[in-house]
Amino acid sequence: MKTAERVLLISLELFNLHGEANVSSVDIANEMEISPGNLYYHFKGKELIIEALAKMYQQRMDKILLAPKSTSLSVEEFFYYLLLIFEVSHLFRFLYRNPAEISEKYPHAARRFKKVLAAKESVLFGCLLSFKDQEMIHADHDQLKQMNELIGLIATQAPNYHLLRGMDINKKDYVYHSLSMILFALTPYINLDKEKFAALNRSIQTQPDD
């Protein structure tokens, strides 16, 4: 692996574990067992590392967001799709820890982050609209908007919420828990036969090992 790539992966891990504000360039160099000078040769400051990570996050998320042909998604596939989105967010969870501070300190990275959130919201709303068209969801336009907003709240705030409840968000359990919160919020509107619904519920409740 090239040094620059290693810098990014190790920085990402440190930021996720300790919060971006508590990790300095020197910490990153120490963890990599290279000199701060060598680190500086690759990234001229922490800001550029954050920017590169935000770009990685954007690229990974864009790939997923382009995937669904929302007109043909089943409800089960929609939840699988949400899982993929949650997994990428989980990988870059430091961005979700204190977005206000990240925004202030790293406006470039924040712009990417916000673009991703807007794209995510719009793609998911497209899925909900198509569910309505296919009568897989019974809800008016306003209700779809409120569902989408709840999904957005759960998706963006799940790490902080679960931290607050004393969960270890370095394990992925909270991701499945968040999916089951979304399923609960959508349940009254979903048109899915009992068996399929139970199977979907089970697959979310069964938390695979990390």
Nearer to a copy of itself, 29 or 200 (CB): 200
Q: Report the C-alpha dihedral over residues 197, 199, 203, 204, rounded to 10 degrees.
A: 20
Q: Are 131 and 137 in contact (CB under 8 A)?
A: yes
Nearer to a copy of itself, 97 or 112 (CB): 97
- Single-letter amino acid code for the residue at 182: I
Residues 149-188 binding a copy of itself (CB under 8 A) are 149-150, 152-154, 156-158, 160-161, 163-164, 166, 180-181, 184-185, 188
Residues 188-207 binding a copy of itself (CB under 8 A) are 188-189
User: Which whole-number Å values give the CA distances from 135 to 4, 146, 160, in the listed order?
Assistant: 49, 18, 34
Decide: is 129 part of the binding site for a copy of itself (CB under 8 A).
Answer: no
Least separation in angstroms between CB 34 and a copy of itself: 28
d(CA 137, CA 17): 39
d(CA 95, CA 90): 10
Interface with a copy of itself (CB under 8 A): 19, 21, 97-101, 114, 117, 143, 146, 149-150, 152-154, 156-158, 160-161, 163-164, 166, 180-181, 184-185, 188-189
